[in-house]
Amino acid sequence: MSLQVPRNPFVTSIYTADPSAHTWDGETVYVYASHDIDPARGCDLMDRYHIFSSKDMVNWVDEGEILSSDDVKWGRPEGGFMWAPDCMYRDGIYYFYYPHPSDTKWNDSWKIGVATSKYPNKDFTDQGYIEGLGGFALIDPCTFIDDDGQAYIYVGGGGKYLGAKLKPDMITLETEAVQMEGLYDFHEATWVFKRNGVYYLSYSDNAQPQNNMRYATSDSPLGPWTHKGAYLTPVGCETTHGSVMEFKGQWYQFYHNHAVSGHGTMRSICVDKLFFDDNGDILPITQSQTGIWSYEIPDNAVTFDVKTLELFGGAKLCNDGTCIEGLGAEGSGFTLAGAEGKGDLRATIWVFYATDERLAKIKLNVNGRDESFINALGTDDVTRLTVRLKPGTGNNIVFTGGHGDMRVLQVVVSYFE
């Protein structure tokens, strides 16, 4: 069954921003994102990086938290300030780069931290920070490895943008960082990629009250750059930040907006197709609500009628027996029994709902682990979250209300590799 419903943003279970998208093997996309706090408390408290993965750009898996300020011993004592990250792979090691202050006076003490792992989606351990890189407003690390194997790192903020070569250890600067020349109205949010021998640099400008995404090109990874114009108009919230990636022959633009929350510091990550003209210029992005494809429920999906669900608290069946209501009450909810874990297959839980309250939520707990909140986007809609189930039918899946009134119409569980 195919469902023509909004799916951009493609992560609605938690608030995320600053998506850094990569594919390391050409088969799986990994998006490394920052995490906005809910309820909104400002970007100073951003923390706890998550990774999302997909093999088809449709089914997304929240791989979970990989790093927080608690893991950074050299960092700001008060924590927070875990802003836009990036990741790079080299010689069997994944390098996760992130900006973080080392002092209470946060904007004067930015450094670029590095955590490493043998896996793209777990087990990252902090290795300290890059010596000689950082300082006032220098944030938003971006890394790039050229065709000749030379690695580069870029950082920028507050109108200043620097680039440098990295040594093969991916942690030490090989050259002193230099100012990038030729950019117009640079603010932050850099991303460098290469296509048909041309280097592209996208960034956020200073337009007010909302930024544009602009880009420049060069025949050298360190410039000088030629400004080409704006290609992503304001996304609704004050900031814009994104990444560009090619996957299976198609280019994509990842970015964030505030379509879910309506709040500039509770953002959500999106993706749309990116196209170039015959001259290699980027065509303006058409921001969509439907993203790449519509939802499609696989043939192996199992439907759970609301009459089969175990209700508790103030939850009850509505008069005609077609939905669960009363989920606005504290302590209300329902349990999904019999959902089967099928070996190596991952499970996606779909929740069909209706609500008159924007941002009404249901908390999901799977086998004792809080997965997150499901944020309602419309009056009649569907949301989904991919989770890991234990083999067999002994999974304990609990939905808890008390966060706005919602009526649940149906729950579906589908499977994919």
Catalytic residues, by residue number, are 18, 188
Helix (H) or strand (E) holding 358: none
Burial class (CB in 10 A: 0-12, 13-18, 19+), 118: exposed
* Bond from prior residue into 234 cis (ω within 30 degrees of 0): no
Residues with Cβ within 8 Å of residue 339, at least 6 apart in sequence: 302, 304, 347, 349, 389, 393, 395, 397, 413
Distant-in-sequence, close-in-space partners of 262: CB < 8 Å, separation ≥ 6: 358, 359
The answer to whether residues 317 and 383 touch, using CB atoms and an 8 Å cutoff, is: no
User: H or E element: which one contains 201?
Assistant: strand 198-205
The DSSP 8-state label assigned to residue 193 in this structure reads E
Query: Cβ distance 379 to 308 under 8 Å?
Result: no
Q: Which of 82, 28, 37 is nearest to 416 (CA)?
A: 28
Buried b (16+ CB within 10 A) or exposed e, 255-281: bbbbbbbeebbbbbbbbbebeeeeeee
Nearest Cα to Cα of residue 270 among 3, 56, 16: 16
Determine the longest span between alpha carbons in the chain, in angstroms. Answer: 71
| Closest of 358, 357, 378, 371 to residue 400, by C-alpha | 371
H/E stretch holding 204 reads strand 198-205
